[in-house]
Amino acid sequence: MSLYFSNQQKEYLETWMNNVSRSFALITPCFEEPLDSLMATAYLICRVADNIEDSLQSFEWKQARFAELKLMMQEPLLASNILSKWLPEDWLGLESIQKQFLQENLMLWQIYRLMPNISQTIVRRWVMTIIEGMEQMLNPLQAPINLSDNGVRLLKTEKDYEDYCYFVAGTVGHMGTELAINQYNLSLPISTRLIDSCEFCGKGLQKTNIIKDFREDLNRGLCYLPDIWMQEVDRMPLYLQGASKFWKKKVLTNVLIELDKSVEYVKTIPYQAAGYRLASLMCLLPAYQTILSAAQKQEHLFTPQHNIKISRNCFSDCIKDAKNMVKDNEALLNYSQQLQKSIKQAF
């Protein structure tokens, strides 16, 4: 039994982590207790916000759901009443498993209520920030959205792109870092360095996923790369007609900058925080390999053959490499430099 949570509650977290994110479900067990359960709970609450955002309902409808989510963050005892109201709601555009998660997650709020006060405060503060960012992005009066000729909705400027990645992922980097600082009782100098660089990790992973999922997002009428970039290549990627090598390199380099800075973040994590180092490496290394895959398959980028997802064998190798780097910063630095060299050679 965990320090704070029952076996039943931990089983609930494990089940739903596997349901909503198999990749992150592999990572949370790396954390020592109770950080494993705290991270899983925080992640699942973020997914509640994600699912509200992903719904095809109106902005006003989403605002009402966000307000109810904020209320549960502040008063988790109200979750039962609020979730009963969510049951008959039409969660337009969501898959059945997403609807089930939203309507039947009372135990998630019971677990959240059992969190230590400091952990609950961290999660509440950052989820509130995420929601505020989502509302800003969705608000038709201020949303930084353009509509292309073929009906694709995309962000306008590079700043909008950076802001979006911060709101949906950089914030998660902050939240996870603060939970880890509390778990391992890290010193002020180390904590300060981690907080100063934690956004890069979240944004790097988000940007990697934006490239990886480009074709799937396009099928849903969405593009998260900014229109200001798209106009440089006559918006050809929005029609899956490819782009120039120079433009592709620019897009991938923007991601690599975040990943390279993430290396410094991981190097700052003390060796004794082994679980957190391993989890961070298991996020970083597959992202690096995904960008290498993109560079090696650049002729197919932003075409109907766009597919840069890494293989299971590659992911398994990432796990092995991560375990070897848990207490070896030099190995991590060498790995990063070799990946950068391979990506450069691919262009």
pTM of the model: 0.92
Decide if pLDDT at 59 tops 50: yes
Residues 66, 128: Cα–Cα separation, whole Å: 9
Instruction: Kindly state the tokens that stand for 334.
Output: 């060498």
Angle between helix 171-184 and helix 274-296 axes, rounded to 10 deg? 150
* pLDDT single digits (tens) 258-313: 999 999 999 999 999 999 999 999 999 999 999 999 999 999 999 999 999 999 99
Q: pLDDT value at position 2?
A: 54
* pLDDT single digits (tens) 95-115: 999 999 998 899 999 999 999
Q: pLDDT value at position 243?
A: 97
- The arithmetic mean of pLDDT across residues 106-132, rounded, is 97
Residue 1 pLDDT class (50, 70, 90 cuts): very low
CATH hierarchy code of domain 144-347:
1.10.600.10
Residue 158 pLDDT class (50, 70, 90 cuts): very high
- The arithmetic mean of pLDDT across residues 201-215, rounded, is 96
* pLDDT single digits (tens) 24-39: 888 999 999 999 999 9
Q: Which residue ranges does the chain devote to CATH 1.10.600.10?
A: 1-136, 144-347
* Mean of all residue pLDDT scores within the chain: 94
Q: pLDDT value at position 147?
A: 73
- The arithmetic mean of pLDDT across residues 148-157, rounded, is 86
- The arithmetic mean of pLDDT across residues 64-83, rounded, is 97
Decide if pLDDT at 347 tops 90: no
- The arithmetic mean of pLDDT across residues 226-254, rounded, is 97
- The arithmetic mean of pLDDT across residues 181-208, rounded, is 96
CATH topology for 1-136?
Answer: Farnesyl Diphosphate Synthase (1.10.600)
Q: Which of 38-47, 147-156, 233-242 has the lowest mean pLDDT?
A: 147-156
Residue 220 pLDDT class (50, 70, 90 cuts): confident
Residue 146 pLDDT class (50, 70, 90 cuts): confident
